[in-house]
Structure 1
Amino acid sequence: MEGLFRISGSQVVLNRLYPTFAHPEQVNLDNENCHDVASTFKHWLKHLNPPLIPFEYFEGTMQMLKDYEETKEVSLLKDFVLKLPKDHFVAFHKILRLLKVLSENS
Structure 2
Amino acid sequence: MGILFRASGKLLATAIVALGIFILSFMFWPKGILWLQDGAAWFVDTVRTPGFLDEKATVLYRTFVNDSTVLGILVTAIARLVVEIVAFVFGRVGVGR
TM-score if structure 2 supplies the norm length? 0.32
Whichever of the two has the greater Rg, that structure is 2
TM-score if structure 1 supplies the norm length? 0.30
* Richer in helix (by share): 2
